[in-house]
Copies of this chain bind each other. A is one copy, B any other.
Amino acid sequence: MYDRILRDKELKVTPQRIFILEEIRKMGHAGIEDLHDKVKEVYSSVSLATIYKNIHILVEENILREVPVHGRKPVYEINIGDHVHLCCSKCGEISDLMDVDTAPMLAEAEKQTGHRYERIAVMLQGTCKSCSN
């Protein structure tokens, strides 16, 4: 599944990397420590240092994207391009909102500043579906 993506970036396909990517895909968004715990369940000898090293490489290569979160350590997600993030004020769950178009705001900002922007990150804070019941 991720073999191809790694090979294309000239990164070696190691089980650690596969498990890291698989786990992030499953979790949607994962912090370093969560990820280490989860990967250890299937690959018990994996070290925290390996998680750190790989996260850096994978972010560098745009396979992953870092999502900075208000008041916490960042989480990481598979890079699927710009989209809106939601962060629940109660449970802290991070989720994606794929259907809100960020282009109009980007266009407005470019119009006002006369510059082009490479990336837009939008984070909304509120109560998520499960917590509002």
Please list the residues of chain A having a beta carbon within 8 angstroms of any beta carbon in chain B. Answer: 59, 66, 68-71, 74, 84, 86, 89, 97, 99-102, 104-106, 108-109, 112-113, 115-129, 132
A126 CA / B120 CA spacing, docked (Å): 9
New contact pairs (13) apart from A115-B132, A121-B124, A122-B122, CB-CB < 8 Å: A59-B71, A68-B70, A84-B109, A89-B118, A100-B109, A100-B112, A115-B127, A115-B128, A119-B125, A120-B124, A120-B125, A121-B123, A121-B125
> Which of A100, A108, A124: most chain B Cβ within 10 A?
A124
A29 CA / B69 CA spacing, docked (Å): 17
Residue in chain B with minimal CB distance to A74: B68
